[in-house]
Structure 1
Amino acid sequence: MWAPPRDDVWVRYNMSLKNGGKSSETSICYRVRPATLTSYEVHVSLAESDFMNNVIFTYREGNTNGVYYNGNRQYGFPNFTTVVALHQWVHYCHIFNDGQYRAFVDGEERVRGDLHTQVLPLSLNSTLILGQEQDLLAGGYDVLQIFRGHIAQVNIWDSVLSDVEVKDIASCRTNMNGNVFSSDREEMEVLGATVDSQRLDTLCQRTDEYVIFPEMRSLGESQLICHRVGYEVFGPRTSEANFKLYEESLQFTKSCSSNYHLWLGLTDKKERESGEPSWTTL
């Protein structure tokens, strides 16, 4: 059931416990799995003080990903966009190296360029908040600036990861813990959130998530309502997925008594264009 966002849900860690200092080379990697379609999605927030509350701040606004560095919003990366995929894990790596910025999504480099900042070293003696933006040190939260979903494998290094290391982490071939911070190692403060453990390989598995609306609609109307909630019309890709969907849909046979039991997101367009079957419809 949908619930309004709250400003009293967060995960916090006091980085000063690690006795870290300042670093001009920093790598921050993590996975997110959004559960709700929102226009503003906060990932990681590092604050040193009420005044310097955006030491590092990473977020997604619409389809565009953004980052603050030492209090400065980085406007030079407008093409850093991603498709919003609900209930699917997405891996991010933000790498800062002496005024240079590179960002990776699922192991692939998406942007690189110069940072707009007057101060290069990052203070790693900061307060880390996951899922909320700090407008003040460890506070000043806004219900519209929150992440609703799951966050995993948050790691911070005071060094630059190689392309191979980023790829290996993103593809679940390794689980490297950050030497400055790791959500798999540190004991964090958790308020209003739950903590769970999963096998590493499950973070790289794409899962089928769908919702059945037991109401009669045309195909066009069905596509529209799916788009409004951030989905597309579902199309099973295997016989097992097709059978599971069919079994679950039987509970709605009394509500949907037309000749068309379900609309599926499958077409024969590729088959007609190529002259060869592109799948088997069951």
Structure 2
Amino acid sequence: AVTLPLSISDGKWHHVCVTWSTRDGEWEAYQDGVKRGSGENLSAWHPIKPGGVFILGQEQDTLGGRFDATQAFMGDISDLQMWANVLTAHDIYSLASCNSHLSGDVITWSENLVELHGGVTKYPFDPCH
């Protein structure tokens, strides 16, 4: 497990980006376009297989296990994207400063494709405006 070195509990919107490479297990964590931490050997050579379900905001301790309401995310999330390749530091800074909008090629934020469960509320929001 990795604890990300981020400070996002101040009531403000933040751009967060975490990169990870299956080839060597190297990861980097960025907050508002600035690298805050990095590491290696995180599940190296263990690729994420296609055809799964992406669950956001809830921890699942085992595959197919139950959800625990005490471990649920509390807060706001907007514009989630996921790419099949590691973004460059320049790309991440451009996204964080609203100078570009790269849509993810694995997951792209679309309010039409988001399923809501457990009392979640959906509001229209554009973090760059």
The interval holding the TM-score normalised by the smaller chain is 0.7 to 0.9
CA distance in 1, matches of 2:16, 2:125: 19
Indicate the residue corresponding to 1:188 in structure 2: 114
Q: How does 1:133-172 map to 2 (within 5 A)?
A: 133-137=59-63, 140-172=66-98
Residue 90 of structure 1 corresponds to 14
Cα distance in 2 for residues equivalent to 1:114 and 1:101: 6
- Percent identical among aligned pairs is 27
Answer yes or no: is 1:103 the counterpart of 2:33: no
Aligned residues: 126
Match of 2:79, SS?
A: strand
> CA 1:182–1:138 in structure 2 vs 1: closer, same or farther (change >3 Å)?
farther
User: In structure 2, what is the Cα distance between the partners aligned to 1:84 and 1:157?
Assistant: 23
The answer to whether the 8 Å contact 1:127/1:137 transfers is no
Q: Distance in 2 between matches of 1:152 and 1:93?
A: 13
Where 2:128 maps in the other structure, the secondary structure is helix
TM norm structure 1: 0.40
Cα distance in 1 for residues equivalent to 2:77 and 2:64: 19
CA shift for structure 1 position 139: 5.1
Larger RCO: 1 or 2 (CA < 8 Å, sep 6+):
1
Q: Deviations over 1:93-148 (max 9, x none)?
A: 11112221111111111122312436432224321111111234465111221111
Whether the aligned pair in 1 keeps the contact of 2:8 and 2:14 (CA below 8 Å) is no
Taking the aligned partners of 2:93 and 2:70, their CA distance within structure 1 comes to 32
For residues 30-179 of structure 1, what are the structure 2 equivalents within 5 Å? 73-74=1-2, 80-97=4-21, 98-99=23-24, 100-117=26-43, 119-137=45-63, 140-179=66-105
Q: Which structure 2 residue ranges, 5 or more long, are not aligned? A: none
Q: Kindly provide the amino acid, as one letter, of the partner of residue 124 in structure 2.
A: S
- How far the C-alpha of 1:175 sits from its partner, in A, is 2.2
Name the CA distance, whole Å, in 1 between partners of 2:85 and 2:111: 18
Q: Which runs of 5+ in 1 are unaligned?
A: 1-72, 203-282
SS in 1 for 2:95: helix
Q: Retained in 2: the 8 A contact 1:132–1:146?
A: yes
What is the DSSP-based 3-state SS (H/G/I as helix, E as strand, rest coil) of the residue aligned with 2:101? coil
Shift of the 175–118 alpha-carbon distance from structure 1 to 2, 3 Å rule, reads: closer
Where does structure 1 differ by over 6 angstroms across 4 or more consecutive aligned residues?
A: none
Q: For the residues of structure 1 that align with 2:35 and 2:44, how far apart are their CA atoms?
A: 25
Q: Which of the two has greater strand per residue?
A: 1
Distance 1:164 1:200 in 2: 19
1:181 maps to a residue whose letter is: I
RMSD of aligned C-alpha atoms? 2.3
Distance in 2 (alpha carbons) for counterparts of 1:102 and 1:112: 4
